[in-house]
Amino acid sequence: MNSALGPVGDSQLAGIGSPMRANSSRNQHFVTHVEQKLNACNPESRGGRFRIYSFQVADRDSYRLTLEQAHGRPIHSNLAMLDLFSFDVAGGMRLRSNLEELFQKYEQGIERQTRSLLEKLSRQNFDVKDELVELFAAKLLNFVRNPFCIEKVLNSFPGVASFQPTDAGLLATYWQIIAGRRPHQSYLCAQLGITDQRYAEWLRMLFMLLAPIGPDGANLFEGVIKGLLESRALHIGTFLAVYDQPCVLLSDRGFARPVADGPQIMAMSFNLCSTAFFDFAFADAATLLQGRANPMFLEHALENWKRRAVATVNLTVTHNDRALLARHNRRVVEQCHSRVYCAVKDDLIFAA
């Protein structure tokens, strides 16, 4: 199934309120609790004690995995680190200053938007622009705040950590991030194999990306997303793969690359739930058409492309495509940090 979606509007990426109230959140997820719940091996749990099967990668080349716990791992503490996003922790105090509030706007709609997207498409209803935009934002945030991607993220947003807000309240928080007390920092950095300086730079970058700096509460992160989704120079494709049975892997990095990135293409693949994943691909239109048409026609086609009234996102939906699933699961194993997760523990699919 194929469909074209309209432009991104401000309503899909509205800003958030004033940030940074101290809270007691210490166990901080970098892949959300709700996304793991959507991949749980016991999705019907009435007590909220959801579990997910965890596999350590034993051999990437042969896609050999080792199941870590026969009954699955509790998701309440999985894919989380203590005080990962905390930037000021007073000695002996329960409250801490952290970035958790800045994440909540993107987390709170994940389950609702995922279920709405899949339910609409099951009825051949392609009015899913809002769902796709909000889910893309939430999934991209998983990449930006993933501790196993810190170097890649800092290289992807060069210089953002050195920006400073002009609002007095946000500036005070910014200086708190710089000077705050972080007794956990040495241990975290040793775990992640990064320097104290890079960790502090990452925290500042996250704050500057997500803090509401615009008069309407907008932030730099949403500006990046709108810039991508509204670019008239790019061909934007979304490929959604849906399956009848649980089979889709989730990466400890929160994303995979379905194809190699290059100067003319960027693509990211995200788990939606145990039975679906989706790819977002951004490609230079000239690159896609090069060699496929007469040069005079190509020039004319590109001019018409750039004069479009709005940018569009083309959506393709497949059902039970085993080859796409095998490719996705292989990429997840190849590119994860050390672990992958699934709602099932047997007969994982890596071959079409």
pLDDT digits (tens, 9 = 90+) for 90-124: 876 788 899 999 999 899 999 999 999 999 999 99
DSSP state of 262: B
- CA 103 to CA 106: how far, in whole Å? 6
How far, in Å, CA of 331 to CA of 63, rounded? Answer: 10
- 132-161 pLDDT, tens per residue? 999 999 999 999 999 999 999 999 999 999
Q: Look at residue 338 and tell me if it is in a domain.
A: yes
Which is it for strands 313-319 and 234-242: parallel, antiparallel or unpaired?
parallel
Name the band, by pLDDT with cuts 50, 70 and 90, for residue 262: low
At 81, give phi and psi (nearest 5°).
-135, 150
pLDDT band at 321 (very low <50, low <70, confident <90, very high): very high
CB 236 within 8 A of CB 267: no
**pTM, to two decimals:** 0.87
Q: What is the pLDDT of residues 198-213, one digit of tens each?
A: 999 999 999 999 999 8
Count Cβ atoms below 10 Å from residue 184 Cβ, excluding itself: 16
Look at residue 213 and tell me if it is in a domain.
yes
Q: How confident is the model at residue 46 (pLDDT cuts 50, 70, 90)?
A: confident
218 or 51, higher pLDDT: 51
pLDDT for 88: 93
The residue with greater pLDDT, 260 or 3, is: 260
Beta bridge partners, 88, equal: 97
Query: What is the residue-averaged pLDDT of the chain?
Result: 87
How does pLDDT run across 225-250, given as a tens digit for each residue?
988 888 777 778 899 999 999 999 99
**50 close to 74: Cβ distance less than 8 angstroms:** yes
Residue 351, domain member (yes or no): no
Contact (Cβ atoms closer than 8 angstroms) between residue 184 and residue 89: yes
Which amino acid does the sequence have at 321? D
In a domain, 162, yes or no: yes
Q: Look at residue 8 in the predicted model and tell me its pLDDT.
A: 52
Question: Is 15 a member of any domain?
Answer: no
In a domain, 16, yes or no: no
Residue 98: its H or E element: strand 96-98
Q: What is the pLDDT of residue 213?
A: 85
Is the per-residue pLDDT at 15 higher than 70?
Answer: no
Q: What are phi and psi of 42, to 5 degrees?
A: -130, 60
Residue pLDDT, tens place only, 285-316:
655 444 444 454 445 444 554 555 455 778 99
- Give the integer Cα–Cα distance in Å for 78 and 97: 22
Domain containing residue 87 = 2-10+25-342
How many domains does the chain divide into? Answer: 1
What's the pLDDT at 47?
Answer: 81
Tell me which of 212 and 283 has the higher pLDDT: 212
Beta-strand (E) ranges in 204-321?
Answer: 234-242, 250-251, 265-273, 276-284, 313-319
Structure confidence at residue 20 (pLDDT) = 64
CA distance 253 to 142: 8
pLDDT at site 91: 74
Residues 36/250, Cβ–Cβ less than 8 Å? yes
CA distance 82 to 96: 12
Pick from 247, 273, 254: which is nearest to 345 by CA?
247
pLDDT tens for each residue of 63-93: 999 999 999 999 999 999 999 999 999 876 7
- For residue 349, being part of any structural domain is answered with no
**pLDDT recorded at residue 306:** 54
Distances, alpha carbon 72 to alpha carbons 49, 64, 337, in Å: 11, 18, 19
The pLDDT of 54-59, averaged and rounded, is: 98
Give the Cα separation of 162 and 59 in Å (integer): 39
